[in-house]
Amino acid sequence: MKSEFVLPAPIRPDRPFDGRRRVVIDRVFPEIDGGRFPVKRAEGDRMTVEADIFTDGADTIVAELLWRRKGDAEWSASPMTHLGNDRWSAAFEVGAPGVYEYTVRAWIDHFETWRKGLRKKLDAGQDVSLDLRIGATLVELGAARAADEDAGTLHHYVGLLTVGASEAALEAALGEGLAAAMRRAPEKAMATLYDKILLLQIDQKKAGFSTWYELFPRSWSEEPGKHGTFRDCMKLLPRIALMGFDVLYLPPIHPIGITKRKGKNNALVAGPDDPGSCWAIGSADGGHTSVHPELGTMEEFEAFVREADAQGISVALDIAFQCSPDHPWVREHPQWFRWRPDGTVQFAENPPKRYEDILPIDFESADWQNLWIALRDVFFFWIDKGVKIFRVDNPHTKGFAFWEWVLGSIREKHPDTMFLAEAFTRPKLMARLAKGGYTHSYTYFTWRNTKRELQEYLTELTQTELREYMRPNFWPNTPDILHEELQGGSRPRFIIRMVLAATLSSNYGMYGPAYELCENTPFPGKEEYIDSEKYEIRQWDLDRPGNIRAEITTVNRIRKENPALQQTSDITFVTIDVSQGQEQEQLMGYVKCSPDGSNVILTVVTLDDRNTRGGWLRFPLEKFGLPHTERFTVEDLLSGRTYEWNGEWNYIELNPHQMPAHIFRLNLPS
């Protein structure tokens, strides 16, 4: 009779179906969109993977996490530990930047299952002579799988197990020597492999921890009214390094168009000396692969990048894929732009706003493939000049498929590159950009100001799947954004927002001189600066009274000295009450720990920049396995003072005019 049995389709093409594979592997975490996108970690991080692993019955399972650099033939393996309730976990230290793969494998350990049964029968006083012979068969199979030295050892044990239930046989069967030798010869023929090979993107160290400073090079001439140069900016590098910044972000440094150039404060008509917006890229002097002639030569730019690197600072460039009407591409590749019925090219607009000095690129061009290559090559050009970090302007207005392709292409050759998405847009778009390859993302931090808003937002960023692929980069201001919290804001207000950004997120930045000088005057009716550097050359007095350079320097030093602040996701908010059961809304506290638990930081910030606020803070001693009555010391790294705390509840008070924050380093009993 012809069999009607049809084998089920294999879950993985490289693993034909075999019904003897009994282990189930499910709910692997982290896993982004079924493995469609990579999980992200930074060089030196520890990658932890969990999974539900079980089988029918009560047989013993062995599981391991497999991982390798993509393209390698061999896998490395880390044994998984059973956490309880069929949940298993393993971890490994990630390597150099690049794309890695990981998956899970598990199998039935028939030998260990047999040993467990043998113990139970002995405990029950049953005869185990036959069981020892069964065990001998399992050991003999193990000897066939084992390396030469272990094979001889296992054959010796086979002899012991076949002579009956002697004391020597029982001691051998239950001893660690036999068990260890059998573990070195596992029976993986019927192992279950998880049905997906998952991706892991490892980025350079600054992906996990970085401190950004933004400035406009054209504003740094020592001669008032003169256009600054790369040579002028080189003189600023020691000061920026001393303040603790390790990424210097420059807005576009390219030639600026003349046609429809904007004047001061975004005036529609520019004056004869107005430099224009540096985001209106392109003129007769070149486009995206040229430098503005008044900034200097390409050789001087490369020297600037080298000098910054020598001082521990990475130069980040702004990449804005848009053009002025004078950009060479408009003439050379008119098919990359949209043309209106009257024969004029379509300029950027967001009705009723019109940006006639900027032309958007048409990503629906029939010549899209050559367009993509040209845009990719802009990145390659600047990478060849020594730049490895890019802040990309408005990436959410370009195709997601384009970004996935272009960022992937770049990382194939340059895995240590980083990309910051300047996308203040809807959450799902920001998430997709992060999945598609962006290293960092701007966030809604600027618009989260109350205690509840900040706690809810940090919980979303750190306690959901977002933490596995979207790295927030907190900025209290940008050249485009002077939030109403800072408009007319006091010096303590600027310190408050800086401390929050620097201690809530491991990656943070600021639009430099404007922030440290507490510039707080908006353009009337807008969320922007008056006399914005986007449209004019400014002169900055960095020693102006009231600046917060010393406070910024201190906070950045604290970040570098305390690993707990060099990660974002391990954060616990603490309770602060005015009185029992009544929450203090104007004081916010949170605990961060280093991965090894040796460094514990408690930050407390007042959200009131005018009045002294106090409250009773409950420190979660149970998180550290300590009784609620434990005594311990806390050192305020901002003031240098040390306090003795008694138990979980302690009183704190902040006067914003003295210092609106505590950054406590805790000395907890081990």
The set of catalytic residues is 393, 422
Contact of 21 with 72, CB cutoff 8 Å: no
Please give the Cα distance from 230 to 298 (Å, whole number). Answer: 10
Angle subtended by helix axes 167-174 and 129-145, to nearest 10: 50
Contact 256, 292 (CB under 8 A): yes
- How many angstroms separate the CA atoms of 597 and 62, rounded? 29
Residue-level length of the chain: 670
Burial 393-425 (b: 16+ CB within 10 A, else e): bbbbebeeebbbebbebbbeeebbbbbbbbbbe
For residue 597, the 8-state DSSP code is S
For residues 591 and 596, what is the distance between their CA atoms, to the nearest angstrom? 15
What is the spatial distance between Cα 518 and Cα 55, in angstroms, rounded to a whole number? 62
Burial of 382 (0-12, 13-18, 19+ CB in 10 A): buried
C-alpha–C-alpha distance, residues 658 and 486, integer Å: 19
Instruction: Find out whether 495 and 502 touch, Cβ atoms under 8 Å.
Output: no
Q: Are strands 575-579 and 613-618 parallel, antiparallel or unpaired?
A: antiparallel
Backbone angles phi, psi at 561, to 5 degrees: -90, -10
C-alpha–C-alpha distance, residues 610 and 606, integer Å: 10
